[in-house]
Amino acid sequence: MRGGAGPGGAGGARRAAGPGVDLHWLPLGAGGWFVRSNGRVYERLRSRLERRPAFDLYHSALEVGADDGRYVIETAWPIPDDRPASRGVVADGPVGSRAAGRFRVLRYEVRCWREGTIPDIAWVAETQHVSDDAGVARRIVEAAGSVPPLVWGRDELRTGDMWNSNSVVSWLLSTAGVPAEAIAPPPGGRAPGWRAGIVAARR
């Protein structure tokens, strides 16, 4: 199913009650100029190096209907404060380098937040319903705390793609048995890091 783009669009609706998994595609940096502008510069340079058109970049998040409630799963950086329990943090990792990860502002966090929120949900460009299977939903929630704490922005596993928020989502889907390699962002878009999560899950 498709959601509306921009604030107040249909993409802001919460998923229906019951078991299942929804994948939300949000424009990179939705609601924040810093990430958005840096993403555009990155994609412009990358497209020139690869001699291809520049694409819109997307960040992904999950909404999971499990046996014990609804969860939102998203990776965020930088970490906003030192109260991880208040937003369902189950894992974290360094940004840029392991040495830099000593500082909170250079760490990312993985949230598996029961009845939580996705801050930029109103900007969703497209929502894909990827599973109605209660077992898949349960496995995703259970695996969230086991996400590999790889360095954001690096390719430590030599997958040909960097590790980031999209890697976390594709890793969780693949680990739970969802064919993430068959999933794509909205037309005209690209999701850096998606392949890295799939390869990491296979290994």
DSSP state of 186: S
Q: Is the pLDDT of residue 59 over 80?
A: yes
- pLDDT score of 18: 81
**Domain boundaries, given as residue ranges, for the chain:** 10-202
Six token digits for residue 177: 């048995």
Six token digits for residue 54: 């520049």
The answer to whether 95 and 106 have CB atoms below 8 angstroms apart is yes
Average pLDDT over residues 60-75: 96
- Give 12's pLDDT tier (boundaries 50, 70, 90): very low
Six token digits for residue 141: 């929630």
